[in-house]
Amino acid sequence: MSEARPPSLHQRIRGDIEGRIRSGEWPPGHRIPSEHALMASYGCSRMTVSKVLALLADAGMIERRRRAGSFVARPHPHIEQVALSIPDIPFEVAARGHVYRFELLARQRRRPRRGASDEAALAGDGWVLALHCLHLADGRPFAVEERLINPAAAPEAMDVDFSQVVPGSWLLQHVHWTRAEHRISAIGADDAQAGWLQVAVGTPCLVIDRQTWCGEQPVTRVSQAFLGDSYDLVARFSPGTR
């Protein structure tokens, strides 16, 4: 168990830029403020700004053009649109004014379970890294998470102390992904989920199952169960959006 640190400066800058893009304030083709302008606005180094822009470019949200600057990316006609962003839960909880905390409940390097084709696909080298985690807001359970990581796609993950580092946040910052799939469902908490979330069995929960790939290589698969009254999903769109 460990107290999570407040969002880092580069997380805050990234969150601000992503927010403007996702809200439509900065539409496709909009020129992102220059590195020098961002440095002055946030009082940070060029290295910090450059890292944020590189991560946004890797995520396909912006395009960096030599000598011209950075621009909000225009959707490619042959790329699937991801309906939901991948949230950085510590950042999201802190942004809502709550104190975030994280607990690693279990960590195991293991073989895929027999008959579990999804796990077998993640076991690039014959193994998966299985993590069981609990997210808390103001000391109360917020979500319980079960995550599998492909060691071949993220070999550095095997050496990370995930009792001190939130797995999802680390993956967003260190592992490149090109495609994601979300599946959203509503359930009643089972015995195990109810125990970790400190609620009665059958309490409504929102479950997000997500898998990410880099090219054709699976990176991670995660199932997150949020208390139904603690999380919502918002989609913003305009007429003509496909």
Domain that holds residue 145: 89-227
Q: What percent of the chain has pLDDT over 70?
A: 87
Structure confidence by residue, pLDDT tens digits, 73-101: 875 443 333 446 777 888 878 877 788 89
Q: Does the model's pTM come out above 0.95?
A: no
Q: Is residue 237 part of a domain?
A: no
Phi, psi for residue 157 in degrees, rounded to 5: -60, -25
CATH code of the domain containing 172: 3.40.1410.10
Q: Is residue 82 part of a domain?
A: no
CATH code of the domain containing 42: 1.10.10.10
Whether residue 102 is found in the same domain as residue 214: yes
The answer to whether 168 and 221 have CB atoms below 8 angstroms apart is no
**Residue that is last in its domain, among 20, 37, 72:** 72
Q: How far apart are CA 150 and CA 176, in angstroms?
A: 13
Structure confidence by residue, pLDDT tens digits, 37-48: 999 999 999 999
